[in-house]
Amino acid sequence: MTLSNTERKIIESAIRDIPDFPKEGIVFKDITTLLSDKEAYGVLMNHLYQRYKEYNLDFIAGIDARGFIFGAALAQMLGCGFVPVRKKGKLPYTTISEKYALEYGVDEVEVHIDAFSSVENPRVLLIDDLIATGGTANAAANLVKQAGGECVEACFILGLSFLDGIKKLETKTDVYTLIEMD
């Protein structure tokens, strides 16, 4: 299931462009305006519910921090659990972590070691607002597997297809982007 043209227009019109943020030459896609637009957010969440209601998901893993917003709401709608994929040092229990490369350095995400242990052979959807170079998403997909989950798909509201993040992640799991930007 993909977005209809009407759904796409409603969602796209609710996302604000911020030129030269966080640095010159970058056009930041601000989803806070999408979240505050009850029609657009409703269209988005209904679409995600319709797409994933037959996936028999056990968990949704949301990537820090915007993935929490979509992931937790969708988990509640689908009646499954939510697992946060957090930046290093933010989770209170024993964790497993995965490092990934940044433009200038390395960052790290983690999940609780027992994140998916309440279910045998857990089916997990990974979700975030945007995929660009794919570093965080690949690290998160690796964590899902390390924690014993099967990442059945990774979902992103926006995909920057002119970067290679989607292609890299497709080597690990299916990838669904609602809106791809060239």
Q: Mind telling me the catalytic residues?
A: 66, 103
**If phi over 0 gives left and psi between -120 and 50 gives alpha, with beta otherwise, what is residue 119?**
beta
- Can you give the chain as a three-state secondary structure string? CCCCHHHHHHHHHCCEEEECCCCCCCEEEECHHHHHCHHHHHHHHHHHHHHHCCCCCCEEEEECCHHHHHHHHHHHHHCCEEEEEEECCCCCCCEEEEEEEECCEEEEEEEECCCCCCCCCCEEEEEEEEECCCHHHHHHHHHHHHCCCEEEEEEEEEEECCCCHHHHHCCCCCEEEEEEEC
Residue 103 and residue 98: Cα distance in Å, rounded? Answer: 17
